[in-house]
Amino acid sequence: MKRHGSRHDIYANPATGKQAPVPRHPEIRESLCRLIRRQLEIAQQ
């Protein structure tokens, strides 16, 4: 995690330098998970 925001946290991929906002909700949709992975250039497991 790079930093805290008011409603989102900013996560960074140190290998690529890419950053993405991640909402602080108990659950997030699978479509949002795919978007975050794509933004951070993380391979799907």
Domain boundaries defined on the chain: 3-40
Report the number of secondary-structure helices (H) and strands (E) in the chain: 1, 3
| Cα 19 from Cα 22, distance rounded (Å) | 10
Q: Is the pLDDT of residue 44 over 90?
A: no
The reported pLDDT for the residue numbered 2 is: 77
Q: How far is CA 17 from CA 7, 12, 41, 43, 44, in A?
A: 22, 6, 10, 15, 18
Phi, psi of 35 (to 5 degrees): -65, -45
- Tokens read off for 27: 């659950």
pLDDT tens string 3-40: 787 788 999 999 999 999 999 988 999 999 999 999 99
Q: Which pTM does this prediction carry?
A: 0.78
